[in-house]
Amino acid sequence: MLLAIGLPHEIAHGSLRLTLSAENTREELDRTVEALDGLPPVKVHCSLLAEEAIHAALWDYAKKQGITIEGLKEPASTDQ
């Protein structure tokens, strides 16, 4: 649908990963994206960076606000 409305592949890919990431592992997401003909490696890298940045931002916000976001786990690296 996102491609049909003219969004670039990398945005559609990032949106798919973000939408599905709450209920699936990274491996499941990778398989899903690959089943949809995947993306060139550089595009995958960009969407993974965006996903990791959003995750880290949510973690940082929750930590600073002293709140817990259900299902949010500490990022692999929280270095500034």
* Per-residue model confidence as pLDDT tens digits over 2-48: 667 777 766 776 777 666 666 767 787 777 767 766 666 666 677 67
DSSP assigned state of 68: -
- Identify the domain containing residue 43 by its residue range: 9-65
Total count of domains within the chain: 1
- Is residue 78 one of the residues assigned to a domain? no
pTM recorded for the entire structure: 0.50
Does residue 52 lie in a domain region?
yes
Residue 4 inside a domain? The answer is no
Distance CA 42, CA 36 (A): 17
Place of tokens 């599905």: 20
Is 73 within a domain? no
Is residue 51 one of the residues assigned to a domain? yes
